[in-house]
Structure formats: C-alpha cells, structure tokens
C-alpha cells in the first residue's frame, strides 16, 4: 500500500507539467524584471528608489502549488484509475504530493527571504518586499518555526483547492462555491459576522501562538481532505 501511495505521488509530480511551465514563466519574467531594475539602478536611472517595492520573489512559487492542486484532480485522477490504482491510493498519494510540495516551497521561500530578498532590498527595491513570511508575522518566530507555519498554511490551501476542484462535477461542488461566495459577501459587511470571519483568519494566519496556528491549519487540512473519500466514492472514471 505504501509503495502504491508513493507511485501515485511520483506520478503526480511527473504529470503537472503545466504547473511547472506557468511557474517557470512567471518567475522567469520577475527575475528578468529584477535584472533590468538592477541594471537601471546601477546606471543611476532610479536616483530616488526609496519607494520601490515588490512582491517577494519566493512567493511566486505558490503558483506551483495552487495550479497543481487544480490540475491533479482534473487531469490525474482518471489516468491513475486507468492505470489500475485504487481511489484510496490516489487520495493518499495526493496527500503526500501536497505535503512534499508545501515543504519544498516553504524551504525555498525562507532561503530566498534571507538571501535574494535582502539583496534586492539593499540594491534596488529599497522600499522593501511584500513577503507573507513578514506580513503574516511568521518570520518573527525564527526560520524553523516560520517554516512550519508556512508549510501548514500552504498544505491547508492545497488540500482545500484539491477538494473544491474534485467536487466541481457534482451539485455539492457548485453548492460549495455558492456557500463560499455567500459567506464572504454576507460576513464582510455585517459587523457581528465580520468578527467571526476575522477570528477565523487570525486563527489560521495571524495567530499570536505559532503552535496553535500550525495545529489549526493541519486539522483543517485533514478535515477538508477527508471529504475526498466521499467525493471519490461517487466520482465516475
């Protein structure tokens, strides 16, 4: 069973070429932009560059995880079933895929935050970079704790997207879409409900307790992902 799970995970990584391509193009364009900025700054074109600010280069790697969580349930499920994999194997294999991907992206972001971003801020983006490690306050807890906080959040995001996409060919998938839009539309303008929405985001993102934020994200990820057992049981091949 464990081998089948790893086979599914490896197959997922091989069959998400669109995700790799889109991420590479976006990050390549951003890198090219930074090179141009560096050259122009060195040439003195940006004599007043104190206000220059950009999104952290590492944060663009989130595109890989987001698109993978969309492509995998859409493209890989039927391929796996046709190759003889069981639904339970597919579920576990995807779980491993998102865990590995979230961990790798978290490591990459922390490395780039302390290297590339620091260089960019000191040279041509002197206004700073918008990095979720900084804006969410995770980096204040140190690199190791920040890794686990970002990993838990990204893992939760991937499992949520995977589950939502998996259900789109059923009525309850559309119902979930409507519910999400309704919650955002209704909870935001009403003060008492907005408090509940703010509490939720504080729980999974801005929590002052890193341990509580990590645990909350992981519990939500596992709870949401467990719904896939019901979705896959009714999903046609």
pTM (2 d.p.): 0.90
Q: At what angle do helices 210-226 and 191-204 cross, to 10 degrees?
A: 100
Residue 25 has pLDDT above 80, yes or no: yes
More confident: 162 or 186: 162
* Tens of pLDDT, residues 34-92: 888 788 777 766 655 556 677 888 999 999 999 999 999 988 888 888 777 788 889 99
Beta strands in the chain (DSSP E): 53-55, 128-130
More confident: 227 or 49: 227
Residue that has been written with the tokens 């796996």 in this structure: 80
Share of the chain above pLDDT 70, in %: 92
d(CA 11, CA 92): 13
Residue that has been written with the tokens 């995807």 in this structure: 94
| Mean model confidence pLDDT for the chain | 87
CA distances to 93, 121, 130, 147 from 96, rounded to whole Å, are 5, 35, 29, 18
Q: What is the mean pLDDT of residues 21-35?
A: 93
């Amino acid at each position: 069973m464990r081998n089948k799970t790893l086979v599914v995970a490896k197959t997922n990584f091989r069959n998400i070429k669109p995700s790799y391509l889109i991420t590479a193009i976006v990050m390549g364009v951003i890198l090219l932009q930074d090179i141009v900025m560096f050259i122009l700054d060195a040439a003195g074109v940006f004599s007043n560059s104190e206000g220059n600010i950009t999104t952290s280069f590492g944060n663009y790697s989130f595109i890989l995880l987001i698109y993978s969580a969309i492509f995998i349930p859409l493209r890989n499920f039927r391929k796996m079933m046709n190759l003889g994999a069981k639904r339970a194997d597919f579920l576990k294999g995807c779980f491993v895929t998102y865990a590995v991907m979230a961990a790798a992206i978290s490591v990459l972001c922390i490395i780039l935050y302390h290297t590339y971003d620091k260089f960019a801020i000191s040279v041509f983006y002197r206004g700073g970079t918008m990095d979720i490690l900084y804006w969410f306050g995770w980096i204040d807890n140190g690199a190791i704790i920040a890794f686990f906080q970002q990993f838990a959040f990204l893992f939760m995001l991937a499992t949520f997207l995977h589950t939502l996409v998996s259900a789109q060919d059923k009525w309850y998938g559309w119902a979930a879409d409507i519910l999400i839009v309704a919650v955002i539309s209704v909870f935001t303008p009403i003060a008492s409900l907005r408090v509940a929405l703010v509490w939720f985001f504080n729980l999974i993102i801005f929590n002052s307790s890193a341990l509580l934020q990590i645990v909350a994200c992981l519990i939500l990820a596992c709870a949401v992902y467990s719904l896939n057992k019901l979705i896959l049981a009714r999903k046609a091949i």
